Amino acid sequence: MGRRTLLICAAAVAVSCGPSTAPVQQTKKDATEEAWYPKTTEDLNGIDRKAEAAFHAGDQDKAAALIEQGKKLQEQLLEARQPTLAAMQAVADLDELYGDMLFTNRNYGWARMFYQKNLARWKHFPEQNDETAKRVKLAEDGIAACDRKIMQ
């Protein structure tokens, strides 16, 4: 390699190691203000109700399929920096139902995990009220029921 080529390579390496320009700050839009957000919340609520009805009617396969369908909507709603109360309720309802199904199928450890997710959600939700307190209690009861079954 010639001396000139070596100098050009050294200069290229030096330039590439230098400070870069500051990254452009992009402010991310609040998902809760997007038109799709309340519609997705409503859609997930509908799936929750259908899955719950199927579960209580003894059709676990249908309930499981609906829960799977709801997971995508759940993920979309949770992408928001601070999900709305309605969205969080729909998300938590799906996890609670999934926990109930797992509990019924004697998968107590997995059920406990879903109840624990809801406990964390509601204990740390910024708008503490009677509804969040009720949901904390529901999650704690689910965890306690799992713990009792696990210890047997």
Please check whether residue 14 lies inside any domain of the structure.
no
The number of folded domains in the chain is: 1
Tell me the residue range of the domain where 53 lies: 32-151
Please check whether residue 22 lies inside any domain of the structure.
no
Please check whether residue 24 lies inside any domain of the structure.
no
Q: What percentage of the chain exceeds 90 in pLDDT?
A: 78
Contacts 24+ apart (CB under 8 A), 28-32: 28/81, 30/80, 30/81, 30/82, 31/76, 31/79, 31/80, 31/81, 32/80, 32/82, 32/83, 32/84, 32/87
Please check whether residue 11 lies inside any domain of the structure.
no
pTM of the model: 0.79
Count of C-beta atoms within a 10 Å radius of residue 100:
19
Please check whether residue 129 lies inside any domain of the structure.
yes
Please check whether residue 100 lies inside any domain of the structure.
yes
Please state the rounded mean pLDDT for residues 95-117.
Answer: 97
DSSP state at residue 35: T
In which band, very low, low, confident or very high, does the pLDDT at 23 lie, cut at 50, 70 and 90? low
| CA torsion through residues 31, 36, 42, 45, sign | negative
- Spatial CA neighbour of 44 closest among 73, 77, 82: 73
Please check whether residue 5 lies inside any domain of the structure.
no
For residue 102 the two structure tokens come to: 């797992």
Please check whether residue 147 lies inside any domain of the structure.
yes
Q: How far apart, in whole angstroms, are the C-alpha atoms of residue 6 and residue 1? A: 7
**Res 6 pLDDT > 90:** no
E-only strand ranges, 94-136: none
